[in-house]
Structure 1
Amino acid sequence: MTQFNITLNMDFLKESVMDSDMEAIVKSTVVLILNEFMEKERDDYVQAKAYERIDARKGQRNGYYERDLTLTIGRVTLRVPRTRDGEFSTTLFEKYSRMDQALVLSLMEMVVQGVSTRKVTHIVEQLCGQKVSKSFVSSLMEKLDPVIEKWSNRSLADIQCPYLFVDAMYIKVRENGRVLSKAVYIATTLSMRQRREIIGYQVSDVESYEAWKQFFQSLKERGLGRPKLVISDAHEGLKKAIQTEFQGTAWQRCTVHFKRNLIQSLPKKDTEEFRAGIKRIFQSLTEAEARERYEELEEKFEGQGKYEKALAILENGFEDAIQYLQYPPKMHVLIHSTNALERLNQEVRRRERVIRIFPNNRSATRLIGAILMDKDEEYALQRGITVE
């Protein structure tokens, strides 16, 4: 067992005890012990104690320098020994680096989970007795960049993605002194590994055909194969990009968005029967059943002025909204809408709402990427989904 002597500053300790400053007592004791530990390490390196002249000596002492160390009791200042040859290095900071890393990871996790930087700085002050700036917390988050970049650029070649879900959400980003609305594209899949997976995201200036096309091309460059079905809303630029980049792939119009559009086109009163008819269409288990119910609804309400707009929307979007019926009934609930992706968007929104306005594109890409990474790991732990 390592043994070393500790020289106590009795006057300081006595004064601290008399003043009941227990925090100072604990800190000063820890400082004394850690300083003595490093002194003992230097003795072992030099192979001689101070002022000891022996043949076994392998070096000379060269004073000290000060270095701060953050512990659970707060930040302390230590006297780190040096040697003249500059080769001596204490192991103390290696021992405590894991604690530092744990603190940093905890701070990152708090930000990712939606804790504001203001609250994080307050927590650090309470834990460590040391004030830190918001910029310090932001700089810690930058440590996530290489991790997020590796995850977001990972190969998709080994992931078979028969069903691809895509959607956009909107965030606010400060740019050149202005607050701008930006689109965040997110793509998920039901993979043949029998689980949901988040396969890509991108922050863009606008939601447009060109931006969606670029996003799909980036997925293909990472190895994404042609899916059997793409599920999304009916944004014109998105539809065109799907047709351009995934030729031979069917498009499923999200039935939730579609039904919402239909309901919004109806008068608010006395349309219960028509609404029930729409519901019946999308409760069908087969394509033939859906077509029969659609024809019944059309025949019953055709020519009635207040249903004219809704019937036109239904006619225009019906075929795209029933593509999911080409697949086994047990898959219908999984592929008829982007509901699962909408819930993911809500999770991102819940944490993004704390920030309100991102200071720049990089911070938006970083935080959203960290949230999606966290959610993707959660998906990996969930019960598998049978994919056909």
Structure 2
Amino acid sequence: MTQLQFNLNMDLLKDSVMNSNIDAVVKSTIVLVLNEYMEQERDEYLQAEAYERNVNRRDYRNGYYERDLVMSIGKINLRVPRTRNGDFAPSVFERYARVDQAFVLSMLEMVVNGVSTRKVTNVVEQLCGEQVSKSFVSSLTEKLDPIVRQWANRPLNVQYYAYIFVDAMYIKVREHDKVVSKAVYIATGINQAQKREVIGFKVDHKESYEAWREFFTELKSRGLQSPKLVISDAHEGLKKAIGKEFIGTSWQRCTVHFKRNIIDKLPKKGMEEVIVNLKRIFDAVKEEDARLFRDEFFKSYEENPKLEKALETLDEGFEEAIQYLSQPEKWHRLIHSTNSLERLNQEVRRRERVIRIFPNTQSAYRLIGAVLMDYDEAQAKKRTIFMKK
């Protein structure tokens, strides 16, 4: 590798040391070194000193231009030498390009992890010594688009997902000069490595049968096979779409939601024993035990008119709420409810709460996709879902 030797302007460096704080000293020193280094690189490229005439000269000096360089100490301004034909390129910027990339990725990481755009601009101001606009930070996040899109459309036929969890949450999006509510569909599955994985998500206008069916159709087009169970709440459009798109798949009604629905039908006071006996039904390990506890529950309370609506609700949804008992016992605690997916929704909500209103649907898709990718990466590092954290 070529060795370049050069002299620094020590008077200028001394002035920086005596009259500035340590941050300014470090920056001034680096600016002096890099400016001189680029000057010597140009001399070597030209193969001629200033005003020197020789047969080996490749080009002529053509002044300087200023260019910023982002480094770990912040942003510095360099005096870049140039040549008349423009072929000379100093190595400094190529060498430190990874620092620029790391800086951009750091800002993206802040946005994805729920730091507001305003706070990000403040951090950048502290690092670089100057303010950047919110639009600049927002434009950086657009770099996520192709990454999220590629991940969201990855093939699903390389794995079999025996158990799939689906749910929808609502967000606020600005559209056509007004704020509207939109549904975010999220599907997770347990793969063959016994790890949770996000298998799909979508931002749509509302939660409906047509929207759920379209979502499932997209998953199938990516290679998703019919699972053993789909676990969800009891949204009518969702139930209908599951039955239509996944032939031979059982629907598992989330027992947490189901018990909550039953309890809401109970009187507000004096129901402690009733609630304990209700929970006993869904704590059963075997299907026959759950049926036995259900029958005993009816016998104990069927004469109480105050419990009529609760008993009707239990009777109507019981079969769909015990489908998990047909699966191996080790899976029961994992597939009887959508709790795992709701915890993921809370993580999305934590980031979304910082933004409050997305400027458009694409920005919502981008951020939510990045959060889900982050979740997927964390899940992939775990050994299996049966291992303690």
The aligned amino acid for 1:48 is A
Q: Residues 267 and 20 from structure 1, CA distance in 2 versus in 1: closer, same or farther, beyond 3 angstroms?
A: same
Partner secondary structure for residue 56 of structure 1: coil
2-side partners of 1:206 and 1:232: how far apart? 17
In the alignment, what sits opposite 1:232?
A: 232
* Partners of 1:31 and 1:6 in 2: CA distance: 13
Distance of 1:192 and 1:22 partners within structure 2: 56
Alignment of 1:162-311 (within 5 A): 162-311=162-311
Code of the aligned partner of 2:7: I
- What is the Cα-based RMSD across aligned positions, in Å? 1.7
The reply to whether residue 2 of structure 1 matches residue 3 of structure 2 is yes
SS at match of 1:384: coil
Partner of 1:317: 317
Tell me, in whole angstroms, the C-alpha distance in 2 between the residues paired with 1:110 and 1:55: 55
SS of 2:76's equivalent in the other structure is strand
d(CA) in 2 for partners of 1:188 and 1:21?
Answer: 53
Which residue number corresponds to residue 156 of structure 1? 156
| Distance in 1 (alpha carbons) for counterparts of 2:148 and 2:260 | 36
Q: Quote the offset at 1:298 in angstroms.
A: 1.0
Q: Would you say the 8 A contact 1:74–1:130 is kept in 2?
A: no
The answer to whether the Cα contact below 8 Å between 1:73 and 1:129 also exists between their aligned partners in 2 is no
Aligned-partner SS, 2:96: helix
Percent identity over paired residues:
62
Per the alignment, residue 365 of structure 1 pairs with: 365
Which string of whole-angstrom CA distances, capped at 9 and with x for unpartnered residues, describes residues 219-242 of structure 1?
A: 001110111110000000100110
Bigger Cα displacement from structure 2, 157-166 vs 35-44: 35-44
Q: CA offset at residue 263 of structure 1?
A: 0.6
Structure 1: distance between partners of 2:58 and 2:19: 45
Contact 1:16 1:22 in 2 (8 A): no
Q: What's 2:135 paired with?
A: 135
Q: Distance in 2 between matches of 1:357 and 1:70?
A: 31
Alignment partner, residue 57 of structure 2: 57
Shift of residue 375, structure 1, vs aligned partner:
0.4
Q: For the Cα contact (< 8 Å) 2:188–2:196, is it kept in 1?
A: yes
- Residue-by-residue CA offset, 1:21-66 (whole Å, 9 max, x unaligned): 5544433332221111111111222222222222222222222222
> Where in structure 1 are there 5+ consecutive unaligned residues?
none
Name the counterpart of 1:31. Answer: 31
Q: Which whole-Å CA distance do the structure 1 matches of 2:8 and 2:327 have between them?
A: 79
Quick one: distance in 2 between partners of 1:189 and 1:29? 55
Query: Quick one: distance in 1 between partners of 2:130 and 2:39?
Result: 27
How far is 1:331 from its partner?
Answer: 0.9
1:212 Cα offset (Å): 0.5
What secondary structure sits across from 2:131 in the alignment? Answer: coil
- What is the match of residue 328 of structure 2? 328
List gaps (5 residues or longer) in structure 2: none
CA distance in 2, matches of 1:29, 1:385: 53
* Residue range with higher mean Cα deviation, 128-137 or 70-79: 70-79
Shift of 1:18: 5.2
**Structure 1 equivalent of residue 109 of structure 2:** 109
Conservation of the 8 A alpha-carbon contact between 1:231 and 1:253: yes
Secondary structure of the structure 2 residue equivalent to 1:351: helix
- Cα shift at 1:310: 0.3
CA deviation profile, 1:59-88 (whole Å, cap 9, x unmatched): 222222221122333322222222222211
Tell me the amino acid that sits aligned with residue 316 of structure 1. E
How many residue pairs get aligned? The number is 386
SS in structure 2 of the partner of residue 94 of structure 1: helix
Amino acid at match of 2:309: K
TM-score by length of 2: 0.95
Seen in structure 2, the aligned counterparts of structure 1 residues 103 and 20 have a Cα distance that, compared at 3 Å, is closer
* Distance of 2:49 and 2:375 partners within structure 1: 56
1:15 Cα offset (Å): 5.1
Separation of aligned partners in 2, 1:47 and 1:225: 67
Deviation readout 1:67-111 (Å, 9 max, x if unpaired) = 112233332222222222221111110111111111111111111
Of 202-211 and 25-34, deviating more is 25-34
